[in-house]
Amino acid sequence: MCLLPSDSDVPATDEELIKTLVQRWAAAVRREDVEGAVLSHSQDILLFDVPPPLQSRGIDAYRASWDTYFQWAEGGAFDVSELEVTAGDTVAFCHGIIRCAGRSADGRRTELRIRLTVGCRKIDGQWLVTHEHHSEPSAG
């Protein structure tokens, strides 16, 4: 068991630790805090994303991907729901839904529901995101 990174003396399961990691990530995105958004990601993160580029490798490319999002985003909407986590001793994955909002090229407000899948590895006792996948359901 690990402890939550707080003053709490209550042991947390790995599933709870990863849920906290994802919720802190989402809160950083809502604040447009790039450094907070990349904090728990590995240096060799692989991102599959909705807007181009569809694949980004490494923490610098991951960090740069947020520029595109923040140019589009509006109102701090970046809410994760339906989050489910499965964790082993050193590898875990989770999936959920992200609700986000922004402005289309013609200025119309757009709200999206995006699928989220995250792969994590426990490295030196800490969970790090090593793979992140966002996808938008087709309209058909």
Instruction: Quote the pLDDT of residue 113.
Output: 95
User: E strands of the chain, at which residues?
Assistant: 2-3, 11-12, 41-48, 55-57, 73-87, 91-103, 109-123, 126-135
pTM, two decimals, is 0.88
DSSP conformational letter for 140 = -
Instruction: Quote the pLDDT of residue 20.
Output: 96
**Ordered domains of the chain (ranges, CATH):** 9-135 (3.10.450.50)
User: Environment class of residue 78 by beta-carbon count within 10 Å: exposed (0-12), middle (13-18) or buried (19+)?
Assistant: buried
Instruction: Quote the pLDDT of residue 139.
Output: 61
User: What mean pLDDT is predicted for residues 102-125?
Assistant: 92
The pLDDT tens digits for 79-101 are: 999 999 999 999 999 999 999 99
Instruction: Quote the pLDDT of residue 8.
Output: 56
Q: Give residue 107's pLDDT band: very low, low, confident or very high (50, 70, 90).
A: confident
Q: In what order do the strands lie in the sheet with 109-123?
A: 55-57, 41-48, 126-135, 109-123, 91-103, 73-87
